[in-house]
Homo-oligomer: A and B are copies of this chain.
Amino acid sequence: MIAEILSTGDEIRSGAIMDSNAAYISQKLEEAGLPVIRHNCVGDDIDILVSVLEEIGSRTDIAVVTGGLGPTMDDLTAEAAAKAAKVELVLNDNALSSIKSFYSSRNRRMPVLSEKMALLPKGAECLKNRVGSAPGFLLVIGRCRFFFLPGVPFEMRSMLSNQVLPQLEKLQGPNRKFFAVKTLSTFGLTESQTEERLAGFSAKFSEIKLGLRVDFPEIQIKLYCNGRNRKRLEEIITAACKWIWPKIGRNLFSIDGGSMEGVVGKLLSEQQATLAVAESCTGGLISHLLTNVAGSSDYFLFSGVTYSNESKIRVLGVSAATLQQYGAVHTEVVKEMAEGVRRLTGATYGLSTSGIAGPGGGTDDKPVGTLCIGLSTAKSSRGCQYNFSFAQRSMNKKIFAVKALDLLRRELLDAIGSEEVQSSTL
């Protein structure tokens, strides 16, 4: 069995909104063992809708369609489905009672216009919508079973998991396949360096498809495999992770899709350590990332976004002489910043950045992309300099912030003498 996805609506077709439903549905169908062959998207045009439904009906087993089920003139999906299946629209009692119970559960009167949503193609099976007013439906067109769902993401998600996936499981019967995807997140190697280090993987793990994906500034290693025995899948994925880990080393920071800031937060928590940050060129991004993690107030004490020299001196106690002698972008300055913010807050770790994110401010000596990171602990303080060559300010800020967090992560691993990412999950 193979599947397709059809997203409908002028808003998506014209690019006014991005289609987040297609990716979500693909993931869920593939996890359920149904390969998704193709996505399609067309606007609110009855002729085009009918022809794309006929087309999909002629080549696919299962299709999930989103959008166009509402009560307005633009909502043409039921009409198009009826035309493609060459049946009439009829009042569907289950659909009508689904709409009525939605409104009564919210103590609202059902608008007259909403009755239109109960007109479904003859022979369609109503799919009740418990979180919105528009019911969905199941209809066979050609050789394909179409599941028609609303376009509102949380309604679609609820109906997909409560109504579509259980039906698909039954359809696939006892011989269904399971699909596993594992994401390993790395930072520090280029895409081609990562590929080189993984040479020989395919010969060793012929059942796994390996893919590299750039999620700037990370490189993700993706492992895909499928089979009828779920336990066996888990075993070969685990074996593959164990094979990969020593080849990528500490550049591998997460094997469960976790973010750099989440991993750093977890290590700080585990070590009952606290962190204070002094940011110049990263402009608050390190703090923003750290505080995106729920519970970060347990270990994140303070960040001083000291954009001006004056604030580096006044808040962090950086020496005016150091700034005068070296300029703000220098290993000595970030060292003093990291020491200063640690002193100010009493944190276990002080982390700092100063650099040139661009587009202006670069010199021959220190071009755009220059980054200094300072790290101060109870034992010692140091400053390091790096160079990146990205054109965009936003990319520089991002890689600067992740590089600083990565430096801290490696320090935290040293502190516990660990070479592993998260040994418990390997």
List A residues at the B interface (Cβ < 8 Å).
Answer: 7, 10-20, 22-28, 30, 36-43, 48, 52, 72, 74, 106, 111, 113, 131, 152, 154, 181, 192, 195, 211, 213-215, 222, 224, 276-277, 279, 283-288, 290-292, 294-297, 300-308, 310-311, 314-315, 344-346, 358-360, 389, 391-394, 397
Other-chain residue from B40, B222, B294, B307 in contact with A16 (beta carbon distance below 8 A): B222
A265–B154 CA distance with the chains assembled, in angstroms? 31
Chain B: minimal CB distance from A225 (Å):
13
B19 and A24: CB pair below 8 A?
Answer: no
A41–B24 CA distance with the chains assembled, in angstroms? 14
A48 and B37: CB pair below 8 A?
Answer: yes
Other-chain residue from B22, B310, B393 in contact with A15 (beta carbon distance below 8 A): B22
Other-chain residue from B41, B152, B291, B311 in contact with A301 (beta carbon distance below 8 A): B311
A211 and B10: CB pair below 8 A?
Answer: yes
Chain B: minimal CB distance from A144 (Å):
17
Other-chain residue from B11, B41, B215 in contact with A211 (beta carbon distance below 8 A): B11
B154 and A392: CB pair below 8 A?
Answer: yes
Chain A to chain B contacts (Cβ below 8 Å), 30 pairs: A15-B24, A15-B25, A16-B23, A16-B222, A18-B22, A18-B23, A22-B41, A38-B52, A39-B42, A74-B211, A131-B391, A276-B311, A277-B305, A279-B287, A283-B288, A284-B284, A284-B290, A284-B303, A284-B305, A288-B288, A292-B393, A292-B397, A297-B308, A300-B307, A301-B310, A302-B306, A303-B304, A304-B305, A304-B315, A310-B346
A310–B347 CA distance with the chains assembled, in angstroms? 11
A14 and B38: CB pair below 8 A?
Answer: no
Q: Which residues of chain B come closer than 8 Å to A292, judged between CB atoms? A: 283, 393-394, 397
Chain B: minimal CB distance from A98 (Å):
17
Q: Which residues of chain B come closer than 8 Å to A294, judged between CB atoms? A: 358-360, 393
A30–B303 CA distance with the chains assembled, in angstroms? 44
Chain B: minimal CB distance from A209 (Å):
8
In the complex this chain forms, how many copies of it are found? 2
Q: Which residues of chain B come closer than 8 Å to A41, judged between CB atoms? A: 22, 38-40
A137–B279 CA distance with the chains assembled, in angstroms? 43
A304–B287 CA distance with the chains assembled, in angstroms? 10
In the A-B complex, the 10 residue pairs with the smallest Cβ-Cβ separation, listed nearest first, are: A283-B291, A284-B287, A15-B26, A15-B27, A303-B305, A284-B284, A302-B311, A39-B41, A284-B288, A15-B23
A296–B285 CA distance with the chains assembled, in angstroms? 15
A39 and B26: CB pair below 8 A?
Answer: no
Q: Which residues of chain B come closer than 8 Å to A300, judged between CB atoms? A: 307
Other-chain residue from B152, B192, B303, B307 in contact with A297 (beta carbon distance below 8 A): B307
Q: Which residues of chain B come closer than 8 Å to A310, judged between CB atoms? A: 301, 345-346
A39 and B16: CB pair below 8 A?
Answer: no
A213 and B284: CB pair below 8 A?
Answer: no
Q: Which residues of chain B come closer than 8 Å to A359, judged between CB atoms? A: 294
Other-chain residue from B28, B72, B285 in contact with A284 (beta carbon distance below 8 A): B285
A360 and B295: CB pair below 8 A?
Answer: yes
B211 and A16: CB pair below 8 A?
Answer: yes
Q: Which residues of chain B come closer than 8 Å to A11, judged between CB atoms? A: 211, 213, 222
Chain B: minimal CB distance from A114 (Å):
9
B213 and A17: CB pair below 8 A?
Answer: yes
Q: Which of A12, A224, A283, A391 has the most CB of B within 10 A?
A: A283
Other-chain residue from B14, B285, B397 in contact with A27 (beta carbon distance below 8 A): B14
Q: Which residues of chain B come closer than 8 Å to A215, judged between CB atoms? A: 17
Other-chain residue from B22, B27, B287 in contact with A283 (beta carbon distance below 8 A): B287
Chain B: minimal CB distance from A34 (Å):
11
B19 and A19: CB pair below 8 A?
Answer: yes
Closest residue of chain B to A304 (Cβ to Cβ) is B304
Other-chain residue from B13, B283, B297, B344 in contact with A36 (beta carbon distance below 8 A): B13
